[in-house]
Amino acid sequence: MKVLVLGGYGAVGRHVVAALREAGDTAYTAGRDTDRADRVVDLRHGDLPPAALDGIDVVVNAAGVELPGLVAQATDAGAAFVDMTASTGYVYAVEAMSPAAPVVLSVGLAPGLTTLLAAAAYADSPGPVDIALVLGAGEKHGPAATAWSYDLLGRRFPDTGGGPPVRNYTRGRPFALPGLGRRRLYRADFSDQHTLTRDLGAPVRTYFGMDSRAATAALALLTRVPGGSRAPRGLHLPGSDRWLAYARTATGRACWAQGRSQSRATAVVTVRAARRAVGLDAGVHHVTGILSLAELAAGDEGIAIHTPAD
């Protein structure tokens, strides 16, 4: 394949590019930095010039830029588009499009791996599903991922269970998590809980925290402070680079995945999705329609997966 990776020299993009090149594909980095970009584009203006798309089979959006116009430009040029966004509004906007080539959403760690885990838990025990996501506070996350997490502070989103709107990082719930013990995690507006609630016909709720209890508590505090989203973002918090994604049903059936480096895990799922994208029909697809947990578990890529059958 020939793949254009938007933000291909960033925290996640560099792992995507490395994995593609290692597999023998041609991967071009795209961005504003003339020293690091193979194809220079300024995504702030929502423009993918024809020269950047020349000969491209798949565009992977690892830049954190959420502009439906980019999707339209890529697919109109005949390239599939793969996006790891976690933003619900952007997902809905792309779903409303009629792209001329395949578009794949809900790829990465969350959504992506969390989506597959929740769907597997539901298939084993239909009913409401809780997703628990714990990320390593010690990992250096990319600017887009950090900004996304901070921008949630103080904001509300519709409750997938039909209750009143939820303020991000509130409504804590305890989880007994493999390898982490008992942790209190908080609701967060990841897009897959909404798409899964719609597609499964049962409430799916996402709870979020960091491996550092102090960092998790700080989010729960800042979300109630006016202007909390403007808190300093360069602070180095104690913690590791370990992550855990966990899904459980109301009956207690659970499956989970764990590993090190959120950025690398996101890249692994994204590259798998990009490989499938080129053979799909034109239109919008989600990861649950093109990948399975079994396929990811079979790979030697640092992701340990445990399903109810285990």
| Tens place of pLDDT per residue across the chain (310 aa) | 999 999 999 999 999 999 999 999 999 999 999 999 999 999 888 889 999 999 999 999 999 999 999 999 999 999 999 999 999 999 999 999 999 999 999 999 999 999 999 999 999 999 999 999 999 988 877 777 778 888 899 999 999 999 999 999 999 999 999 999 999 999 999 999 999 999 999 999 999 999 999 989 989 999 998 876 666 555 556 688 999 999 999 999 999 999 999 999 999 999 999 999 999 999 999 999 999 998 888 777 789 999 876 5
Largest CA distance in the chain: 54
Looking at residue 239, its pLDDT comes to: 80
Sign of torsion, CA 104 110 112 117? negative
- Bin 110: left if φ > 0, else alpha if -120 < ψ < 50, else beta: beta
Chain-centroid distance of CA 131 in Å reads 13
The structural domains of the chain, with segments of one domain joined by +, span: 2-108+264-291, 110-262
Looking at residue 287, its pLDDT comes to: 96
2-108+264-291 and 110-262, same CATH topology = no
Looking at residue 144, its pLDDT comes to: 76
179 Cβ contact partners less than 8 Å away, ≥ 6 residues apart: 244, 258
Looking at domain 110-262, its CATH superfamily turns out to be: Dihydrodipicolinate Reductase; domain 2 (3.30.360.10)
Token code pair at residue 150? 């901070």
Looking at residue 45, its pLDDT comes to: 80
Whose CA is closest to 170, among 225, 219, 133, 212? 219
Looking at residue 32, its pLDDT comes to: 92
Q: For residues 209 and 211, what is the distance between their CA atoms, to the nearest angstrom? A: 7
Whose CA is closest to 277, among 20, 18, 59? 59
Looking at residue 164, its pLDDT comes to: 97
Cis peptide before 111 (omega within 30 of 0): yes
Running DSSP on this structure, what letter comes out for residue 237? Answer: P
- CATH class of the structural domain 2-108+264-291: alpha beta
* β-bridge partners, 209: 134
Whose CA is closest to 309, among 119, 121, 115? 121
Residues composing the chain = 310
Looking at residue 301, its pLDDT comes to: 79
Q: For residues 53 and 73, what is the distance between their CA atoms, to the nearest angstrom? A: 9
